[in-house]
Amino acid sequence: MNFIVSSSVLLKNLSKISGVISSNTVLPILEDFLFDIQNGKLTVFATDLETSMSTSLEVEAKENFKIAIPAKIILETLKALPEQPISINIDEISFGIEITSDNGKYKLTGENGEDFPKIPQQEDTQKVSFASSILNMAISKTLFAVSNDELRPAMTGVLFQLNEDGITFVATDAHKLVKFNRKDVSVAENTSFIVPKKALNLLKGTVSSSDNLVEISFNGSNAFFTFDNVHLICRLIDARYPDYNAVIPKENPNLLTINRDDFLGSLRRISIFSNKTTHQVVLKISGSELQVFAQDLDFSNEANERLTCEYLGDNIDIAFNAKFLVEMMSTMPGEEIKFELSSPTRAGIIKPAEKDENEDLLMLIMPVMINVN
């Protein structure tokens, strides 16, 4: 059994799905790609049992067959080869693999493709389609806020909420929260599901920021993402997402408007001098001036900057984790951002000063207790 394929085309397709593969696995076959050739079409699968990805390409082949090929060695071989047609021959008894190029031959051993884990199939699914740029944007704006706490599994993924009014993406780790809503995507029936972090990282690396459509099908156990000749299947997180609306303060009389780049630059400089455990930075707001202050008493480090701003409300001193603020400012769109504050002990709300008519973005950050001299 053999097939002929372009080395660069094969490498491009394998690279799209290689992120699924884990090197620390109890099943050696999970370190392989499954090559499934049917009627001159090669479909390549990769899985870690929780998340699976596949992609397809045309090849020259006369037979239908399956073979599991070690991912690391074939990727490294293809990366080292110049662009050229290569022939891959398979021994169906020993599962020996011989790759023939213009330069020479390379031999390795695969495994029986029939032993590869079964990939979940779509059954009783609902579907929604929208521009891949929306999914790309939603992941970029929410992924940093996902929790790593395995004791609270619901928070280790992003909540997708769909209804006739739009789609909402939510992520939180109890210290920060992001709620991103698009009004130009809807479904007839209210539904929600939680997509795990690894699947979102893989999507972030492969889904394009174009207007090409991404189709999402989902049921009670899995979500199926289809876009740009790539299919990603992930097991959904089976847990109840916390009532995030309950933690968003409704009354925030103090309103700060400031240039995002100026504030982000100041945070990056000031945070260098903050305590390396708390990353505390204090915002002292009065009139049209914002003072950004940090200190590390253990090393006698201290920094202070003043920025001009627009402010409506009572003078306030409030402290936040600078690391979280930098993450938020880095993903917040627009030239200016708005802070909505109520008191030094209540969460702060951050929004873009200007927004697209089809989207709403809200970020929440919990304060930390002020501890300065």
* 204-225 pLDDT per residue, tens: 999 987 788 999 999 999 999 9
pLDDT-derived band at 188, boundaries 50, 70, 90: confident
Mean pLDDT of 316-320: 96
Any idea what the Cα angle at residue 276 is, between residues 275 and 280, rounded to 5°? Answer: 45
Tokens of 212: 């090409």
Mean pLDDT of 300-312: 96
Instruction: Supply the pLDDT for residue 25.
Output: 78
Tens-digit pLDDT profile for residues 215-269: 999 999 999 999 999 999 999 999 999 999 999 999 999 999 999 999 999 999 9
Domains and CATH numbers, the chain: 2-115 (3.10.150.10), 126-245 (3.10.150.10), 248-365 (3.10.150.10)
Note the pTM of the prediction, 2 decimals.
Answer: 0.92
- DSSP structure string for 196-222: EHHHHHHHHHHS-SSS-EEEEEE-SSE
- Tell the residue number behind the tokens 């002020």, with chain if given: 370
Q: What distances in angstroms separate CA 91 from CA 75, 85, 96, 105, one per listed residue?
A: 20, 20, 5, 15
Instruction: Supply the pLDDT for residue 247.
Output: 93
Q: Mean pLDDT lowest for which of 183-192, 282-291, 356-365?
A: 183-192
Nearest CA-CA partner of 19 in 216, 207, 195: 207
Tens-digit pLDDT profile for residues 293-303: 999 988 999 99
Instruction: Supply the pLDDT for residue 370.
Output: 79
Pairwise CA distance, residues 65 & 53, whole Å: 19
Pairwise CA distance, residues 106 & 314, whole Å: 73
Nearest CA-CA partner of 222 in 305, 126, 148: 126
Pairwise CA distance, residues 298 & 236, whole Å: 44
Residue 168, number of CB atoms within 10 A of its CB: 20
Nearest CA-CA partner of 35 in 129, 135, 96, 111: 111
- DSSP structure string for 348-362: EEEEESS--TTEEEE
Instruction: Supply the pLDDT for residue 170.
Output: 98
pLDDT-derived band at 113, boundaries 50, 70, 90: very high
Q: Report residue 26 CA to chain centroid gap.
A: 26
Higher pLDDT, 1 or 179: 179
Whether residue 283 is predicted with pLDDT greater than 90 in this model: the reply is yes
Mean pLDDT in the chain?
95
DSSP letter assigned to residue 144: G
Mean pLDDT of 74-93: 96
Whether residue 337 is predicted with pLDDT greater than 90 in this model: the reply is yes
Instruction: Supply the pLDDT for residue 371.
Output: 63
Tokens of 2: 């053999």
User: Who contacts 238 (Cβ-Cβ below 8 Å, separation ≥6)?
Assistant: 153, 221
- pLDDT above 90 coverage of the chain, percent: 91
Whether residue 320 is predicted with pLDDT greater than 60 in this model: the reply is yes
Instruction: Supply the pLDDT for residue 166.
Output: 94
Whether residue 129 is predicted with pLDDT greater than 70 in this model: the reply is yes
Instruction: Supply the pLDDT for residue 58.
Output: 95
Mean pLDDT of 111-127: 94
Instruction: Supply the pLDDT for residue 97.
Output: 97
- pLDDT above 70 coverage of the chain, percent: 99
Torsion sign (Cα): 73, 78, 81, 85 = positive
